[in-house]
Structure 1
Amino acid sequence: MTISRTFFEQPVEEKIKHVRGKGQNYGWVAVETEKLNPERPGDLKEAFNYHLADDPDDWPTADFQQASREMFLRCTELSHRVCDALSVGLGLDENFMRNAHKSVGKKENPTTIRSLYYPPIPQYVDIKPGQIRLGEHSDFGTITLLFQDDIGGLEVEIPGKGFVPATPIPGTIVVNIGDLMQRWTADTLVATKHRVLIPEVEFKKRKPRQSVVFYVDPDNEYVVECLDGSKKYEPVASLDYLNYKLGITY
């Protein structure tokens, strides 16, 4: 977070040199570029994407490249362990989920790590009606590993209770269930809707918020279908579903 924050605090004219292009999952995404909830104005956040197979030579700094690569590899290891536990919990072979994600870090799998930066909101900035830092949404893939700072603002939707704060706990990782896991398990595991609000406390508005997110997806051509044979959801290839959801977001 410290290294990525150094990048985000640079002027726009510097950051735009590393803007995320088409055909690769690497680079900077500007404020209000994305609408995770299409019914709201653009999200008040910036991002920097990294995929292990898209590793160009023009990183802002060598430290940023090394930290991103190391974090990607550590998160890959952890996500496999979580998937193993989920496989056992669902009564499947221990390696079932791992086998669906065997190409993480390669072109054949879209799993991505993302540094998120929610810039300070000065008093003179006019916030658009309904605009928040991150619109309500569920993640698209299998699971998501989320590392957040101590600023707060993240809320998750609990069935029957609505949105409740996911208060940061030091030394912990938030794990979200994604859409494809919900489809796989025919709603046994339900995708977690979440959002990031603008703090009501003035001094927190004036402070940036950061998180690092590891989006875990099955291999591109892997077809996700209901494990119980119910056909509650139509079978869908991992990359096809991801592209469909990204088309809505942008």
Structure 2
Amino acid sequence: MEDSGALIPVIDFDHLGLQRESKNIDKTELKNVGGLMKDAFTRVGFCYLKNHGIDQDLVDKYLDISREFFSQSVEEKMKHVRGTEKNFGWVAVEREKLNPERPGDLKEAFNYHPADDPNDWPTAEFQQASREMFLRCTELSHRVCDALSVGLGLGENFMRNAHKSVGKKENSTTIRSLYYPPISQDSNIKPGQIRLGEHSDYGTITLLFQDDIGGLEVEIPGKGFVPATPIPGTIVVNIGDLMQRWTADTMVATKHRVLIPEVEFKKRKPRQSVVFFVHPDDDYMVECLDGSRKYEPISSLDYLNYRFSVTY
């Protein structure tokens, strides 16, 4: 299996990162980075971003607090189970199957959307860390969208305007803490069951923060599945199906998965990640940018609901 190093590009986001004030963003750098991102998403659908400006201490704190929640009994976690009306709360092991041809995924999750916040959290610390992560991810996703807009020749504010309501009830962007429980020798693993089934994401872009356990694999065209090895200080960014549709298949929403590790000591350790799923505003009509009408126009929310109907 090939290493991802030469296949998934690492893009330096230093001149556009959150460590820079927005008024000091260099337009030439915006164009340069946008071009690199467009190329990465056209070829492989994924890239790493370094020097993005989200503090690692915040990420670590969010992972630590999340892990405390996931380590509780099922009875305790059920008090905060995700319902059907709001995108908030705990999702149990095997509740989702992102590849419908496999058994349920060996993962748990906790979803947070600010507009669906019931103010009934397991702890105040979990609530505060979730809010902080959502805010910082929102800020970074806007800058990624700005660069991508310029890279696509659409003008700096095109994609930001399509995502202007992130964090409000009229936009479905969500942050998700993922927990993959340890797998012991006596775990009852079903035939074909893995930690996260092969799938592509649903929306525009996804920001992914990995721990050091690894396990994520990305299906590179012509190469098969390759490991997206964790690189300290970076985040993984990929596009979703809606962006592929938006660009009339110019960009590719690449399938990815998380297998059960072959190495025994990694099986015995939990894996964690944080995912920020970015969607256009619910009523935004996504039409092919090249005017081809290769796909019929569809609202962001209608497309998301269609994808959810297949997953659950």
**What TM-score do the two structures reach when normalised by structure 1?**
0.99
Identity of matched residues, %: 86
The answer to whether residue 175 in structure 2 is matched with residue 113 in structure 1 is yes
Alignment match of 1:182 (pick from 244, 259, 265): 244
Alpha-carbon distance in structure 2 between the residues aligned to 1:179 and 1:222: 15
Alignment match of 1:153 (pick from 215, 224, 241): 215
Query: Which residue in 1 is equivalent to 2:307?
Result: 245
Query: Which residue in 1 is equivalent to 2:289?
Result: 227
Q: Offset at 1:233? A: 1.3
The answer to whether residue 129 in structure 2 is matched with residue 67 in structure 1 is yes
**In the alignment, residue 68 of structure 2 is paired with which amino acid?**
T
Instruction: In structure 2, list runs of 5 or more residues that go unmatched.
Output: 1-62
Following superposition, which runs of at least 4 residues in structure 1 exceed 2 angstroms of deviation? none
**Paired residues, what number?**
250
Query: Which residue in 2 is equivalent to 1:212?
Result: 274
Q: Offset at 1:159? A: 0.5
Q: Offset at 1:57? A: 2.0
Instruction: In structure 1, list runs of 5 or more residues that go unmatched.
Output: none
- 1:110-169 Cα offsets, whole Å, 9 max, x none, are 000000000001110121111000000000000000001000110011000011000000
**In the alignment, residue 189 of structure 2 is paired with which amino acid?**
I
Alignment match of 2:142 (pick from 44, 55, 80): 80
**Match of 1:53, SS?**
helix
Name the structure where helix makes up a greater proportion of residues. 2
Alpha-carbon distance in structure 2 between the residues aligned to 1:172 and 1:102: 25
Alpha-carbon distance in structure 1 between the residues aligned to 2:124 and 2:179: 20
RMSD: 0.6
Query: Which residue in 2 is equivalent to 1:93?
Result: 155
The answer to whether residue 204 in structure 2 is matched with residue 129 in structure 1 is no
**In the alignment, residue 32 of structure 1 is paired with which amino acid?**
E
Alpha-carbon distance in structure 2 between the residues aligned to 1:225 and 1:128: 41
Query: Which residue in 2 is equivalent to 1:198?
Result: 260
Q: Offset at 1:21? A: 1.1
Alpha-carbon distance in structure 1 between the residues aligned to 2:73 and 2:160: 41
- 1:57-92 Cα offsets, whole Å, 9 max, x none, are 210000000000000000000000000000000000
**Match of 2:115, SS?**
coil
Q: Offset at 1:242? A: 0.5
**In the alignment, residue 207 of structure 2 is paired with which amino acid?**
L
- 1:33-72 Cα offsets, whole Å, 9 max, x none, are 0000000000000000000111112100000000000000
